[in-house]
């Protein structure tokens, strides 16, 4: 028996990673592509050997051979498409971030729970060897009690209005750097530290004039007491990508999550460089494999919608704090 996948969306991430990963998994098969542009759906179905293509989302959901829907369009589409898929009895793997707001994320979780279907969020970096090693070290107390964490991401991104990816900088599309790239790191941080409790934040348009902010700064406190900052900008003249968790007995210092190593630092001891295996050639494959294998075995997904909701709560809290000037309970 194979797990039948329907895919909503035909963007780069679908063509370059998601569809190839599904095709590469022995227990999965591509059944149908949905796009609002029929020709795009037809092209991808031809490219990847899917049985069907449609410009009617209801047709995708009514297909008896579709067991799970990969919701991969713009962020504004995630909640309505996930809720509709759940009502049709389909499992859902939704692209990150799961929703534009925490309230939308809650609705998605509740809809899937009510329908008795599984919901997972495509935070594939949890499957990176580096992230898994970090999680193990924090869990075993290698740095003692976590005290503070920092995420810094800076780059330059300014697509032209006619760029197919311009939706990433539209307020109802991608939401900006914090939503688009910061969400991955925030998700890993929540995996390491647990539930977030409070958020304060600032967002602004410093040098670029698209709808989404080009500069965002988030300050959070977790239920376990750890403080965290996340600074993201798409207006920078130099690239920065760092992730650090400091504890009472040491610190974990990471560059890009694709790096082959990171550093464990302890006072009075030489820095320990920890090497990790390379990420999978297709970074989505371990995620697809894990979700499909568990569903075929009748098991719950490893990282469910509530896990993916944590990062959305932090991001939404940052935006609400900017609007209100208040510290937001999340």
DSSP secondary structure letters along 127-177: GSHHHHHHHHHHHTTTT-SEEEEEEEEEEE----TTSTTGGGGSTTTT-SH
User: What is the C-alpha separation between 93 and 29, in angstroms, rounded?
Assistant: 15
Name the DSSP letter for residue 124.
G
Assess contact for 44 and 15: CB atoms under 8 A: yes
Q: Which residues contact 144 (CB under 8 A, 6 or more apart)?
A: 247, 248, 249, 250
Q: Report CA torsion sign: 136, 137, 138, 140.
A: positive
> Does 96 qualify as catalytic in the annotation?
yes
Distances (CA, A) of 236 to 97, 167, 189, 207, 208: 23, 20, 23, 9, 10
Q: What is the DSSP letter of 182?
A: I
DSSP letter, residue 103: H
End-to-end CA distance of the chain: 41
227 cis-preceded (ω within 30 degrees of 0)? no
What are the catalytic residues?
A: 96
């Amino acid at each position: 028996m194979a797990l039948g996948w329907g895919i909503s969306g035909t963007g780069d991430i679908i063509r370059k990673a998601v569809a190839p990963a599904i095709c590469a998994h022995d227990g999965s098969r591509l059944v149908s592509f949905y796009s609002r542009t029929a020709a795009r759906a037809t092209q991808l179905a031809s490219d990847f050997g899917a049985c069907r293509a449609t410009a009617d989302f209801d047709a995708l959901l009514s297909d008896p051979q579709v067991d799970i829907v990969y919701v991969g369009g713009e962020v504004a589409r995630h909640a309505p498409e996930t809720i509709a898929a759940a009502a049709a009895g389909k499992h859902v793997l939704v692209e990150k971030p799961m929703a534009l707001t925490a309230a939308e994320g809650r609705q998605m979780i509740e809809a899937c729970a009510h329908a008795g279907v599984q919901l997972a969020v495509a935070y594939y970096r949890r499957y990176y060897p580096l992230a898994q090693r970090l999680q193990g070290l924090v869990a075993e107390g290698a740095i003692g009690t976590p005290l503070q964490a920092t995420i810094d991401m800076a780059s330059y991104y300014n697509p032209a209005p006619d760029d197919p990816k311009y939706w990433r900088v539209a307020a109802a599309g991608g939401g900006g750097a914090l939503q688009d790239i910061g969400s991955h790191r925030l998700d890993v941080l929540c995996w390491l530290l647990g539930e977030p409790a409070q958020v304060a934040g600032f967002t602004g348009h410093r040098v670029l004039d698209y709808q989404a902010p080009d500069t965002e700064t988030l300050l959070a406190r977790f239920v376990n007491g750890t403080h965290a900052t996340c600074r993201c900008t798409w207006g920078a003249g130099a690239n920065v990508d760092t992730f650090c968790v400091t504890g009472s007995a040491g610190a974990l210092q990471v560059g890009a999550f694709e790096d082959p190593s990171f550093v464990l630092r302890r006072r009075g001891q030489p820095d320990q460089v920890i090497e990790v295996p390379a990420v999978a050639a297709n970074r989505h494959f371990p995620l697809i494999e894990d979700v499909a294998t568990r569903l075929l075995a009748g098991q719950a997904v490893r990282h469910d919608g509530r896990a993916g909701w944590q990062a959305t709560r932090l991001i939404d809290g940052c935006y609400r704090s900017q609007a209100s000037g208040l510290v937001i309970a999340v």
